[in-house]
Chain A
Amino acid sequence: MPGPSEPTHHEEHIVSPKLYLVIGATLLIFTGITVGASLIDLPGDLNAVVALAIACIKMTLVVLFFMHVKYSSQLTKLTVAAGFFTFIVLITMTMTDYISRAWGRW
């Protein structure tokens, strides 16, 4: 009798090579786009925003498909989310100090 912590059989899903090829090609295309976009003068900070946004999209594709998270258990998805959350906390809360230092005294 399986215990409550025993996983249900979901890891049997095998991703097809065709999907891998599509994702791989998409990643390469996005690489081209990000280089191209960096060579165009966009207003304000948009260059940096676009570059980071594209990087995030690429990361999402790798995580979901190459790393199988799309087909993984809720636990795996939660774990990945927890990692990102903690990373964001580190960055943003440290930045609260650096951003507001120049605001001057009360």
Chain B
Amino acid sequence: MDSHTVAAQTAETAHAEHEHPAFLRHHFESVEQQRESATFGMWLFLLTEIMFFGGLFCAYLIFRNWYYPAFVAGSHSLHLWAGTLNTTLLIISSFTMAMAVHASETRVRKALIGWMIATIILGSGFLCVKAYEWHDEWVEHHVPGLNFSPQGFLHGTKDYPDDKLSLDMAEKTQVYFSLYFAMTGMHALHMIIGVSLLTILLIQAWGGKYVEGHVAPIENFGLYWHFVDIVWIFLFPLLYLIRRHQ
């Protein structure tokens, strides 16, 4: 029997759980150190995400300044109700995720599972609305490089008659939509990854994990989830709310 098996058995038969819980990894001195390290690691990862999205925000800022009328028209063509609904769904999902972390901290299994399911449903709802919006853009020939046509921007719309653009500026709406798809696409990719990871955590929680003192994975996933929410909190006004007043 090698040393690892012996160590694992000793861990399982430890009396008090804080003495040597099974989830404490051997290179850490204490559960506290492990938890703090994991959270710090997740924050550092989120820093990389800030800089990753940062490049897109930088591009957005530049082109919005250069092609403001095109950005206005492009923004008007998005469904305000869809954006508002999505923002609402994500904010509520951040609430449910925070509650899930709380359930893990207070060791209530049923609550943990319930809040995690709620978060998954809300996140999936977001993705459904997004899919609908994207389908709409496709139908209206707003997808850059694939089927883009500036035709729709040469005349104003019912709600925004002033959105009549010259051909030159109408073609610049492709830049707006490039950024729209790049930013919401990258965000959606992070949402998909998030929902998938959360599903895995849910299955593990169903099996009894994360309610016996091992909070870090739920807590740190929560950090990731909130971060993705924050990205959307900025995407919403930047993409949907450009000069919305009539």
Contacts and interface: CB of A to CB of B under 8 A. Distances in A.
Direct contact of A and B (CB under 8 A): yes
Interface stretch (B3-11, B49-57, B144-152, B190-198): B49-57
B226 A38 contact: no
Contacts of B94: 24, 27, 62, 66
Contacts of A59: 230, 233-234
Nearest to A90: B54
Interface string A1-25: 0110011010100110100110110
Nearest to A47: B243
B46 interface: yes
Interface string B77-104: 0001000100110011011011100100
B80 A11 contact: no
Q: Chain B's interface: helix, strand, loop or mixed, by majority?
A: helix
Interface in A13-54: 14-15, 17, 20-21, 23-24, 27-28, 31, 34-35, 38-42, 47-48, 51-52, 54
B244 A86 contact: no
B237 A52 contact: yes
Interface stretch (B58-66, B161-169, B177-185): B58-66
Contact of A11 (B32, B43, B50, B55): B32
Contact of A62 (B35, B87, B233): B233
Interface residues of B, number: 53
15 contacts: A6-B30, A14-B106, A17-B99, A20-B95, A28-B92, A31-B84, A34-B236, A38-B241, A42-B245, A58-B233, A62-B230, A67-B226, A79-B40, A90-B58, A91-B61
Interface of A: 2-3, 6-7, 9, 11, 14-15, 17, 20-21, 23-24, 27-28, 31, 34-35, 38-42, 47-48, 51-52, 54-55, 58-59, 62-63, 65-68, 72-73, 75-76, 79-80, 82-84, 86-87, 90-91, 94-95, 98
Which A-B residue pairs are the 10 nearest by beta carbons? A24-B95, A51-B237, A38-B241, A83-B47, A38-B244, A41-B245, A7-B36, A27-B91, A83-B50, A87-B54
